[in-house]
A and B are shown apart, each in its own frame.
Chain A
Amino acid sequence: AQSVAQPEDQVNVAEGNPLTVKCTYSVSGNPYLFWYVQYPNRGLQFLLKYITGDNLVKGSYGFEAEFNKSQTSFHLKKPSALVSDSALYFCAVSSYTGGFKTIFGAGTRLFVKA
């Protein structure tokens, strides 16, 4: 069965420090991997995606993510966190195996402290 795991409910980081939000997945076939962000009282917004090619993908607001096939991971990173990065982050995987489906992780709440 396809699944996405975000092992941390919450990540706390000080402003200016690097941040990592973890995501691992289990899917048959080639996965399409995404990160979305949900700011308070706002809808979900696309951050970045991995389809194929370079394992390091760059996205909006200075975020990047590294696809690691052997570890089936797609961790979200940013070199220097901002207070405004505080939000709920979702990892998602789309796959055609057994019919098209997009599976979202449970979400990780990021708190960046000034």
Chain B
Amino acid sequence: GAGVSQSPSNKVTEKGKDVELRCDPISGHTALYWYRQSLGQGLEFLIYFQGNSAPDKSGLPSDRFSAERTGGSVSTLTIQRTQQEDSAVYLCASSLSLAGGGNEQFFGPGTRLTVL
């Protein structure tokens, strides 16, 4: 079956522009996660969804970042007024459910964002 897909794979934008990153989770996975991986760094947890709900937005780096998930499937991560420090690889993952926290996450290939 298909894995987690993300689009675009690469995005180059100019400082101050808005960008939208898309994630298609594995069919049937109710939990969805967004991470940011900066060059040479580990993964920074941004936000998770259980169904369409995102109970905790505190991991988002600033109010320029927002995320939504509709229909319990596709999710978009939007970054408004991009800054150079937003340059990173944005990873999406999904898991069967969040229940118990013990489900492994399946990762997409990531979107490499470069802000000039």
Residues on A facing B (Cβ under 8 Å): 32, 34, 36, 42-46, 49, 51, 90, 92, 94-96, 99-107
| Given A43-B107, A100-B48, 5 extra CB contacts under 8 A | A51-B102, A94-B101, A99-B58, A100-B55, A101-B59
B104 contacts which chain A residues (CB < 8 A)?
Answer: 34, 46, 49
Chief secondary structure at chain B's binding surface: loop
Residue on A nearest B59 in the bound complex, by CB: A101
Contact status B42-A94, CB under 8 Å: no
Residues on B facing A (Cβ under 8 Å): 4, 33, 35, 41-43, 45, 48, 55-56, 58-59, 91, 93, 98, 100-102, 104-110
Count of A-B contacts with CB under 8 A?
57
A95-B101, A99-B55 given as contacts; is B45 within 8 A of A43 (CB)? no
Alpha-carbon gap, A49 to B59, bound state (A): 24
Alpha-carbon gap, A104 to B33, bound state (A): 13
A51 contacts which chain B residues (CB < 8 A)?
Answer: 100, 102
A46-B104, A94-B102 given as contacts; is B41 within 8 A of A103 (CB)? no
